[in-house]
Amino acid sequence: MTTTTETTADTTATATVLKADGVTMRFGGLTAVRDVSLTVRSGEIVGLIGPNGAGKTTFFNCLTGLYVPTEGRVAYKGTTLPPKPHLVTQAGIARTFQNIRLFANMTVLENVLVGRHTRTKEGLWSALLRGPGFRRAEEASRARAMELLEFTGLAEKADHLARNLPYGEQRKLEIARALASEPGLLLLDEPTAGMNPQETRATEELVFAIRDKGIAVLVIEHDMRFIFNLCDRVAVLVQGQKLVEGTPDVVQADERVIAAYIGSPMEDSPEDEALAEVQAAEAAAGAADTQEDAK
Ligand SMILES: Nc1ncnc2c1ncn2[C@@H]1O[C@H](COP(=O)(O)OP(=O)(O)OP(=O)(O)O)[C@@H](O)[C@H]1O
């Protein structure tokens, strides 16, 4: 991956928010991601699905600078990204993690304020001296953080400790913190994991509202109903490679996806055997009842 920041001659740069080209990630002998290209355009919600171990999180880590891809290039709005997480965030990509990573003993508001650090310009001396510039910046940051808490429905809990929030609200807080860096693209890694159906529905609404604010979204999720309801486009990773990409209708109907991921019952599969046993038992019970009635 190129480590310098350079502007490409990508003429679709205004519409293209994220462009990953031929991303490959190897860990020793294991190729976790193989030659994956993906584009996310302005105003889009794109889904990334695939079985466990398909390479989805590794791909996210390549996009956000946590990993330096073995091969390939990632560009945000036409500019190649340096593989450093804080520079990627500064450029305009924010993310949440599969496992919640909040500051448990900080308040809800403080967690969001932490997310704003890439957007505050006040330097160390200004912060130490707590001069008027610093105070103004701090007030503006708090106001923006409160706006984000209103937006995510957490404003009333601004002073609560993050660890005391119910699970679904902790996930929302992660999203609020990610939004605090004012991203143009939000990456969500399994945002509904462990949620009940109501919380999942609320997350769906929240993601639509984020998109309506002009932020493109790339989301990994195992919940198919959530993905197919939400996304404009879905890419399917299987064993590190992109198998299919298309609208939810196209992806759902693709036989390779059904076979590789959603899982069509195979001939002679254990499920078939179990079903046949149940049917045989029901037929035998039915026959016994008929004989009983005939007596
Ligand atoms: N740091 C690492 N070192 C070595 N192997 C890794 C590393 N990270 C991931 N892998 C391997 O890469 C493959 C892809 O893993 P990854 O976590 O990206 O899959 P995933 O699609 O996100 O899975 P899940 O849906 O279970 O989260 C797996 O075989 C995993 O064991």
Assign 9 a pLDDT band (cuts: 50, 70, 90).
very low
Assign 268 a pLDDT band (cuts: 50, 70, 90).
very low
Distance separating alpha carbons of residues 286 and 144, to the nearest angstrom: 68
- Mean pLDDT over residues 47-53, rounded? 92
Q: What's the whole-number average pLDDT of the chain?
A: 83
- Mutational test site, ligand 1, from 23, 30, 67, max ligand atoms within 8 Å of CB: 30
Reported pTM? 0.81
Predicted confidence (pLDDT) per residue in 116-154, tens digit: 876 665 555 555 666 666 777 778 889 999 999 999 999
Å from CA of 52 to ligand 1 middle: 8
- Mean pLDDT over residues 267-282, rounded? 50
pLDDT value of residue 259: 82
Q: Which atom of ligand 1 is nearest to the CA of 58?
A: 18
Assign 285 a pLDDT band (cuts: 50, 70, 90).
low
pLDDT value of residue 278: 52
DSSP run (H or E) holding 17: strand 16-27
Distance separating alpha carbons of residues 25 and 21, to the nearest angstrom: 12
- In this structure, the residue with its CA closest to atom 30 of ligand 1 is 53
Å from CA of 35 to ligand 1 middle: 16
Give yes or no for residue 60 having a pLDDT over 50. yes
Distance separating alpha carbons of residues 153 and 110, to the nearest angstrom: 16
- Assess whether the C-beta atom of 105 lies below 6 angstroms from ligand 1: no
- Assess whether the C-beta atom of 263 lies below 6 angstroms from ligand 1: no
pLDDT value of residue 267: 39
DSSP run (H or E) holding 40: strand 30-41
Predicted confidence (pLDDT) per residue in 165-203, tens digit: 998 999 999 999 999 999 999 999 999 998 899 999 999
- Assess whether the C-beta atom of 30 lies below 6 angstroms from ligand 1: yes
Q: Which residue has the higher pLDDT, 262 or 151?
A: 151
ipTM (interface pTM): 0.95
- Assess whether the C-beta atom of 95 lies below 6 angstroms from ligand 1: no
Give yes or no for residue 12 having a pLDDT over 60. no
- Assess whether the C-beta atom of 99 lies below 6 angstroms from ligand 1: no
pLDDT value of residue 260: 75
pLDDT value of residue 269: 42
Predicted confidence (pLDDT) per residue in 70-103, tens digit: 999 999 999 999 888 889 998 999 999 887 788 8
pLDDT value of residue 122: 56
- Mean pLDDT over residues 219-223, rounded? 93
pLDDT value of residue 136: 77
Assign 54 a pLDDT band (cuts: 50, 70, 90).
very high
pLDDT value of residue 68: 93
- Assess whether the C-beta atom of 82 lies below 6 angstroms from ligand 1: no
Distant-in-sequence, close-in-space partners of 189: CB < 8 Å, separation ≥ 6: 56, 57, 60, 95, 96, 97, 98, 220
Distance separating alpha carbons of residues 47 and 249, to the nearest angstrom: 13
pLDDT value of residue 266: 37
- In this structure, the residue with its CA closest to atom 8 of ligand 1 is 58
- Assess whether the C-beta atom of 50 lies below 6 angstroms from ligand 1: yes
For residue 43, give both structure tokens.
């105003």
pLDDT value of residue 130: 64
Predicted confidence (pLDDT) per residue in 106-117, tens digit: 999 999 998 887
